[in-house]
Amino acid sequence: MTVVEKSALVEKPPVAPAPELYMYRYATKRWNLVRAPLRLDVAQSRRKHRIDPSQAHSASFHLKTLYLFTRSDIKTVLAPQIIFITAALLSRESLTTSFDEPRSTTLQRLPLAILWIWLNLIVCGISNQRLADSILEDEHNKPWRPLAAKRLTPKQAQRLLLGMIPLVAGVSAVLGGFRPTISMMTLLWMYNDLDGSSINIWARNAINTGGIMCFSAGALEVFSGGDLLPKAWAWIGVTGAVIATTVQALDFPDMEGDRARGRKTIPLLYGEGVARGGLAVMVMLWSTACPLFWKLQPAVWAAPLGVGVLMAGLTVARRDEKSDDIVAKLWCLWMSVLYVLPVFAA
C-alpha cells in the first residue's frame, strides 16, 4: 500500500459548515414557516371572494366593483367632506358667491356634491389600486378590493381609468369643481405614475394633503353652486395644514406592519418619541388656532380643546396598540369637530 493510499485511510476531522450555511438554513426555515400561512390566507381569501361567472357582466356586478374601489374612503374622505361642506354652507360668514341663496335651495344640491365626491374617489381608487405592489398588498390586507378579488384584471382597470377620467372631468365641467378635479388628477399622476409617493415622507404627505384640499374645494363649489371666496380658500388651507401636521396619528396603530413592509412613516423615520411629542404639540396648537380663525366665543373652544387634550395626553402617556387605536379614532372625531366650527362663527 502506497503512502498516498495510507493517508486516504486516515479519518479526517469533520469540517464545520460555514456560518453563511447556518444563516441560509435558518432563513429558509423561517421563510417556510411564514410562507405557509400566507399562502393559506391568500387561498382562503380568493375562495371567499370568488366571482360567479354568470354575474360578471351584470349591471349590479359592475356597480359593486366601483363601490369596492371606494369602500375604504367612505369613512375617511366621503363622510368628513360631507360634514365639511355642510358646516361651511351653514356658516354665517360668506364663503361662496351664492351665500344669499336660500339654504333650502342649496341643500337640494347635496346629492350632487356627494356624487361629485364619489366619482372622483373612483378615479383615485383605480389609480392607486392598479399598481402591482398595491395588488400584492391588498391580497393580504384587503382581499375584497376589485383587483385583489379578481373582479377585473390590471389591464381592464387601466381601460376603466382611461374611461373614467374624461367622464369625471365632463361631469365636473357641468356640476362645478372642474379645476379641483383636474388638480386632483395631476396629483394622482405625480403620486403614482411619477412615483411621488416614494421620494420622501413629506412629499407624500404634501400630495395626499393636496388631494384632500381638492375634495374640499370641489365639493363645496358643487354644493353651493357658486365660486369660493378668499375666506373659504383660507379655511381649506388651514384644514389642509392641520391634516399634514397631525395625520401621523393614523400611523401609530400599524407600526409593526409598516416596519415589516419597509414602509416609511413619521414614527418609524423620526422615532416614536419625537412623533408622539410632535403630534401632541400640533394638536394643541390647531385646537387653539382654528377657533381663533373663526373668532369663536370661549364656550365653543371647549369641544376642540377637550378632544385635543384627550388625544394629546393619550398619545404621550400610553404606547400600546389599544391606546393607539383610540388615538386614531379620536383624531377622526377631532377633525370632524374642527370641520363643524364654521357653524358657530359670529
Residue 201 falls within a domain, yes or no?
A: yes
Closest CA to 162 of 140, 136, 189, 143: 189
How far apart CA 153 and CA 130 sit, in angstroms, is: 9
Contact 338, 291 (CB under 8 A): no
What pLDDT, on the 0 to 100 scale, is given for residue 23? 43
Do 222 and 120 have their domain in common? yes
CA distances for 288 relative to 83, 181, 220, 239, angstroms: 20, 32, 25, 13
Count up the domains in the chain and report the number. Answer: 2
More confident residue, 2 or 241: 241
Do 292 and 208 have their domain in common? no
What pLDDT, on the 0 to 100 scale, is given for residue 41? 42
Do 67 and 181 have their domain in common? yes
Rg from Cα positions in the chain: 26
Closest CA to 331 of 246, 257, 272: 246
More confident residue, 169 or 201: 169
Domain C-terminal end among 228, 254, 278: 228
Q: How confident is the model at residue 341 (pLDDT cuts 50, 70, 90)?
A: very high
Contact 331, 246 (CB under 8 A): yes
CATH label of the domain that carries residue 224? 1.10.357
pLDDT exceeds cutoff 90 at 159: yes
Do 190 and 71 have their domain in common? yes
What pLDDT, on the 0 to 100 scale, is given for residue 168? 98
Do 210 and 254 have their domain in common? no
pLDDT, tens only, 179-230: 999 999 999 999 998 888 777 888 888 999 999 999 999 999 999 999 999 9
What pLDDT, on the 0 to 100 scale, is given for residue 259? 77
Look over the chain and give the mean of its residue pLDDT values, rounded to a whole number. Answer: 84
Do 74 and 209 have their domain in common? yes
How much of the chain, in percent, has pLDDT values that exceed 90?
58
Residue 293 falls within a domain, yes or no?
A: yes
How far apart CA 268 and CA 270 sit, in angstroms, is: 6
Contact 259, 268 (CB under 8 A): yes
Do 257 and 333 have their domain in common? yes
Do 249 and 149 have their domain in common? no
Give residue 67's domain range. Answer: 59-228
Do 256 and 208 have their domain in common? no
Do 177 and 84 have their domain in common? yes
pLDDT, tens only, 14-62: 444 444 444 445 444 443 443 444 344 444 444 554 555 555 567 899 9
Residue 207 falls within a domain, yes or no?
A: yes
Q: How confident is the model at residue 116 (pLDDT cuts 50, 70, 90)?
A: very high
What pLDDT, on the 0 to 100 scale, is given for residue 55? 56
pLDDT, tens only, 70-103: 998 998 899 999 999 999 999 988 899 987 888 7
What is the sign, positive or negative, of the torsion defined by CA atoms of 260, 46, 30, 24?
negative
Domain C-terminal end among 228, 256, 289: 228
Do 94 and 210 have their domain in common? yes
Do 319 and 187 have their domain in common? no
CATH label of the domain that carries residue 296? 1.20.120
Residue 13 falls within a domain, yes or no?
A: no
